[in-house]
Amino acid sequence: MGGRTPIEPQRVDAPLTSSATFLVLSVKLEDDAAINTVRSTLASVEGLSKNVSIRDLSASFACTVGIGSDAWDRVTRQPRPAELHPFKEFHGKKHTAISTPGDLLFHIRAQRRDLCFEFERQLLDSLGDAVSVVDETVGFRYFDVRDLLGFVDGTANPVGPAVTDSIVVTEQDDPASAGGSYVVVQKYVHDLTAWRNLSTEQQEKVIGRTKLENVELDDAPGGQQQSHKSLATIEDDQGEEHDILRDNMPFGSPGSKEFGTYFIGYSRKLWVTEKMLCRMFTLDRDDVLCTFSDSIG
């Protein structure tokens, strides 16, 4: 019966699917009518999801909604989560983790592309001119859960009971936001030509895993450039490791020659994702440039 059971609303840990749409919208925050439309539509997301998922209950349709810092107070009229704030840009020597506009995030996923399309159509019809589309990215599963760089993506995700421990805010963390989760997205465009000019060994040193077998490599010696795997391992001041849940997906169009990875990370503690991103962009494993308090939220 599991394949015929609709996925509960806002299930961050919904199954990985073959298709996803990442939809970011801006809300007319100064317009009372727009706010009312947004609030009414968000209240109806469960019903919209059922309208779509009932067409194929085996397709694992799910939609998770995120509300941004700037829109939270006007849209929800609820206490603010303890760590919620506008995204802070992280500047590295070559790249920047940018901050872009966006008040609402819809993470729409299913095994069938048409279900994602139909839900998005009904959703935007309901929202009307209360919102504007900031970004719409369609992701797809690439072979055996690999990114377009050719490596398996998501190996470090928590599994089993560790998923809930990593992504769900607890009463002890923040009573007003217990049961929620923080989400951060970034849209990365890859220079595949430059990447393919690297040898497989060079690529593996960058990622920290073997390309074919997905076997974890040892950390580079001190003083040498650390791999993505090493930089993305986050510990607090007491040495306890913290995980996030990634549901990244490749996107791209050979015709437009734009290819990349849509990063989406859910976490119980926002500072964990922020520190991970800061390390990735500043290449600073010693946290000289990436200092976040682990006592928040």
In this structure, the number of other CB atoms found within 10 A of the CB of residue 176 comes to: 12
Distance, in Å, from the CA atom of 21 to the CA atom of 262, rounded to the nearest integer, reads 10
What percentage of the chain's residues is helix, strand, coil (to nearest 5)?
30, 25, 45
What is the rounded end-to-end Cα distance, in angstroms, of the chain? Answer: 38
Looking only at the bridges linking them, the beta strands covering 249-253 and 182-189 are unpaired
Q: How far apart are CA 50 and CA 45, in angstroms?
A: 9
Asked if 103 is an active-site residue, the reply is: no
What are 175-182's contacts with CB under 8 Å, separation 24+? 176/78, 176/79, 176/81, 176/82, 177/79, 177/81, 177/82, 177/297, 180/81, 181/12, 181/266, 181/267, 181/268, 182/81, 182/83, 182/84, 182/266, 182/267, 182/268, 182/269, 182/270, 182/273
CB within 8 Å of 112: residues ≥ 6 apart? 18, 19, 56, 59, 61
Q: Which two tokens stand for residue 20?
A: 């996803």
User: Of 153, 174, 243, 247, which is the active-site residue?
Assistant: 153
Neighbours of 39 (CB within 10 A): 15
- HEC letters along 77-123: CCCCCCCCCCCCCEECCCCEECCCCCCEEEEEEECCHHHHHHHHHHH
Q: Which residues are catalytic?
A: 153
